[in-house]
């Protein structure tokens, strides 16, 4: 029998789902980018690795301003968000060589947004066969690389 070892998942699976604060507001205020997995800070938006990724390399791009809806972003925020998204796609193609991407914006709790009051864009790299039986029978995702390794690869490629 093979064993899958993914100890970082326990904090997500086991924690009560109490939302305290907003990571998209709180994390950029700290001077702790490596611990918080903030990859890049733009003028109006920033790039952060998802702590509970769907796939290796799952990133999010979010404005600094606490705004709930995509259509409420200023022109400057929209430009920065789109520019950073394109930069992320190029960097991810170089580093991870995915075969495709999912881009998605969740607005509101019913859409699946964990932080429903702060709009953010998800970038999920995809490969043929990247989903398996674990997702189907146990609602578990197997992410083959630790966040710290992905963060380091991305940081090197970004600079």
Q: What pLDDT digit, counting tens, does each position of 80-122 carry?
A: 999 999 999 999 999 999 999 999 998 888 877 777 889 999 9
The closest of 148, 126, 151, 122 to 60, measured between CA atoms, is 122
Domain of residue 128, CATH code: 3.30.428.10
The whole-angstrom separation of Cα 71 and Cα 36 is: 27
Strands 38-41 and 121-126, how do they pair? unpaired
pLDDT tens column, 26-54? 999 999 999 999 999 999 999 999 988 88
Residue-by-residue DSSP string for 33-97: HHHHTEEEE-SSEEEEE-SS-SSTT-EEEEESS--S-GGGS-HHHHHHHHHHHHHHHHHHHHHT-
- Residue 112: what pLDDT? 73
Instruction: Give pLDDT tens digits for 128-153.
Output: 877 654 454 445 555 666 777 888 88
In a domain, 2, yes or no: no
Nearest to 49 by CA among 41, 62, 39: 39
The predicted structure's pLDDT at residue 18 = 56
Does some domain include residue 109? Answer: yes
**1 part of a folded domain:** no
Instruction: State which residues form the domain around 95.
Output: 7-158
Q: Specify the higher pLDDT residue, 146 or 59.
A: 59
Structural domain total, the chain: 1
Residue 98 lies in a domain: yes
């Amino acid at each position: 029998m093979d064993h899958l070892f993914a100890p970082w998942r326990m904090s997500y699976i086991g924690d009560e789902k109490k939302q305290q604060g907003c990571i998209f507001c709180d994390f950029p205020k700290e001077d702790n980018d490596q611990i918080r997995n903030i990859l890049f800070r733009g003028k109006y938006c920033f790039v952060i690795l998802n702590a509970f990724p769907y796939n290796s390399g799952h990133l999010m791009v979010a404005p600094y301003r606490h705004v709930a809806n995509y259509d409420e972003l200023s022109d400057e925020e929209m430009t920065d968000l789109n520019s950073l998204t394109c930069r992320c796609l190029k960097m991810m193609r170089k580093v991870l060589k995915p075969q495709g991407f999912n881009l998605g914006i969740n607005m509101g709790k019913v859409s699946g947004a964990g932080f429903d009051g702060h709009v953010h864009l998800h970038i999920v790299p995809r490969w043929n066969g990247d989903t398996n039986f674990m997702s189907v029978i146990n609602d578990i995702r197997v992410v083959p690389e630790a966040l710290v390794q992905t963060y380091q690869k991305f940081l090197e490629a970004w600079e």
